[in-house]
Amino acid sequence: MFKYNNFFDKKIKLKKTKYCFFIDSVFSTQITAGFTSSFFTGQLPSDFSQLLSYIGKQANFSYMDQRHSADLTIVEEPGVYSVDGLFSKDKNHFLVVKTADCLPLFLAKKDHYVGIIHMGWRSAKEGILKNIPFDLADFKVVAGPGLRSCCYQVGTEFRKFGRIASYLKISPKGTFFDPVEFAKDQLFSKGLKRENFFDLGLCSYCSKHNFFSHRRNKTTKRSLSFIGIK
């Protein structure tokens, strides 16, 4: 079992393999969730097909063309969807998001429902988490690797962005957005219990563990985060 020193949340364990990290000890044992290592560069669908074969799983998957919107959908057929959040109740149907700074959110309601959300500031500002089509009382949520408030410097115009303006830290160094605090409050207002929010605490920009960060070096490479029901 692999442990990071900078975990905010000691309840989460990550299992590291050559190809990906699995999130252990949060969701039901019927749920498989994790994110790719830098072995993959985030090409879809090819990299995820390859990951499934490396980890010995035969499953369908869906992903998104990700347009920084506030739209989510419940999927029944594997495919590519023009949204920024997916939910499914089907077994052997993974949901995949690609990120290099935006925050991936993993959601699961026991082993009945899973979801994945691509949360950048635009989607946050437009209310993507308010649009989740469920009461979250029986869900657990994990915040994956993404830009965190240590490195999420934004322009002063963010102070006028109603929904996210209260999640800015203003210091002599500049204005910084805290996407995790924002996500928590939005999810709690949808019924999520406080003890069911888990933060990996991994910053894509400053973590030593080689996550892709567009802000750091304008990379076109992406991490793939995934969740599915066995």
Interacting residue ranges for Zn ion, rule: CB under 5 A: 150-151, 203, 205-206
State which residue, 177 or 226, has the beta carbon closest to Zn ion. Answer: 177
Q: How far is it, in rounded angstroms, from Cα 94 to Cα 101?
A: 21
Residue with smaller CB distance to Zn ion, 55 or 206: 206
Nearer to Zn ion, 104 or 115 (CB): 104
Buried/exposed code over 55-82 (b: 16+ C-beta within 10 A; e: otherwise): eeeebbbbbbebebbbebbebeebeebe
- Is residue 100 a contact partner of residue 213, using CB atoms and an 8 Å limit? yes
- Cβ atoms of 121 and 215 within 8 Å: the answer is no
- Provide the minimum distance between the beta carbon of 206 and Zn ion in the complex, in angstroms, as a whole number: 3
Distance from chain centroid for Cα 108:
12
Nearest distance in Å: CB 205, Zn ion: 4
- The CB-of-145 to Zn ion minimum distance in angstroms stands at 11
172 Cβ contact partners less than 8 Å away, ≥ 6 residues apart: none
Residue with Cβ nearer Zn ion (87 or 211): 211
Shortest spacing between CB 152 and Zn ion, in angstroms:
8
Is the CB of 150 or the CB of 170 nearer to Zn ion?
Answer: 150
- Tell me the C-alpha distance between 108 and 159, whole Å: 33
Let me know: does 32 contact 227? Beta carbons within 8 Å.
yes
Give CA angle at 146 (93, 167), nearest 5°.
115
| Smallest separation (angstroms) from Zn ion to the CB of 148 | 5
Look up residue 74 and give its two tokens.
Answer: 């419940």
Ramachandran bin of 154, using left for φ above 0, alpha for ψ from -120 to 50, beta for the remaining angles: beta
- Name the minimum Å distance from CB 64 to Zn ion: 25
Between residues 142 and 203, which has the closer beta carbon with respect to Zn ion?
203
